[in-house]
Amino acid sequence: MHIKTNSLPQLTRTALLMVAVFLSIAIFVPLWSIDLDAPQYPEGLRMLIYADGVKGDVEIINGLNHYIGMKTIHNEDFLEFKILPYLIAFLALSALFVAIRGRKLGLYIFSVIYILFGILSIYDFWKWEYDYGHNLDPNAAIIVPGMAYQPPLIGFKQLLNFGAYSLPALGDGFLSWPESSYWSLQWTNGAFQGDKE
């Protein structure tokens, strides 16, 4: 006999607690990295994107960007860095709340919110890269007609004599891998379906 229940299995609740922990860690570690490689910088240049700002060789990269007309990067110019730590903390607390309450409705709502958060985050990152790579100063010292300097969303792209690598960092792993594994587990475990009793 199949009986539908609104309660989450214990395994699901434990997985949600792990999700909350991983999300909390993601606030403090780099989410994304952009690396630049060129002959004049054999050691490479790295920019690390955290929930609350950009760190790494930002000043050197700003100096290079100035010559080709790209806007300089300053943390205070980004609203995202002011609110992102709180958004991730909200998701962590939401996962904790759903784990404690143990109701399927909470799981459904949390899942939808988290998926929307991921989609909007990727779009916002792409939009930021597009803006910085295309809206160039027409009075820059170096102008290459038709050239844009948008870094790749993910992967590699050649930008003049610089090779640009854009890849997820440790924090993105805490944001994505545990959650994707968690949802796969819950689907097979019956959290999104009728449970057997």
Mean pLDDT of 39-47: 93
What pLDDT is stored for residue 49 in this prediction?
96
> Following DSSP, what letter does each residue of the chain receive, concatenated?
-B---SBPPHHHHHHHHHHHHHHHHHTTS--EEEEEEETTEEEEEEEEEETTEEEESHHHHHHHHHHHTPPPP-GGG-SHHHHHHHHHHHHHHHHHHHHHH-BHHHHHHHHHHHHHHHHHHHHHHHHHHHHHHHS--TT-S---TT---PPPSSEEEEETTEEEEEEE-HHHHHHHHHHHHHHHHHHHHTTTSPPB-
Q: What is the mean pLDDT of residues 140-163?
A: 91
Global pTM reads: 0.84
Please state the rounded mean pLDDT for residues 15-19.
88
Position 186 scores a pLDDT of 55
Q: With bands split at pLDDT 50, 70 and 90, how would you rate the model's confidence at 190?
A: low
